[in-house]
């Protein structure tokens, strides 16, 4: 059962849940899993180095089928 809110409508989500974008910790696999479950998964990019971020963005791009973001 999905929950309809302004957030879910704006991003096409099932649930009004957004994962915390913890830099260097929340990578592409976690963001993809959260997004694929119907919430908004975020990759933590604030303090990550460019190589790490490129790898994680590639992972979330290939593993997610729903909206995701970077914080």
Has residue 28 been placed in a domain? yes
Helix 28-36 to helix 50-63 angle, to the nearest 10 degrees? 30
Has residue 30 been placed in a domain? yes
d(CA 35, CA 17) in angstroms, rounded, equals: 9
Has residue 1 been placed in a domain? no
Q: What is the pLDDT of residue 23?
A: 81
Per the CB < 8 A criterion, the answer to whether 35 and 41 are in contact is: yes
Has residue 51 been placed in a domain? yes
Q: Give the dihedral of Cα atoms 33, 34, 36, 40; nearest 10 deg.
A: -150
Give the domain range for residue 46: 6-70
Per the CB < 8 A criterion, the answer to whether 46 and 71 are in contact is: yes
Has residue 41 been placed in a domain? yes
Digits of tens for pLDDT over the chain (71 positions)?
889 999 999 999 999 999 999 887 889 999 999 999 999 999 998 776 899 999 999 999 999 999 999 98
Has residue 43 been placed in a domain? yes
Domains identified in the chain, total number: 1
């Amino acid at each position: 059962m999905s929950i309809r809110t302004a957030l879910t409508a704006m991003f096409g989500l099932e649930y009004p849940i957004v994962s915390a974008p913890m830099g260097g910790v929340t990578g592409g696999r976690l963001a993809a899993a959260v997004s694929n479950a119907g919430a908004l998964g975020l990759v933590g990019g604030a303090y990550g180095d460019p190589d790490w971020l490129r790898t994680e963005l590639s992972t979330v791009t290939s593993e997610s089928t729903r909206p995701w973001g970077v914080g």
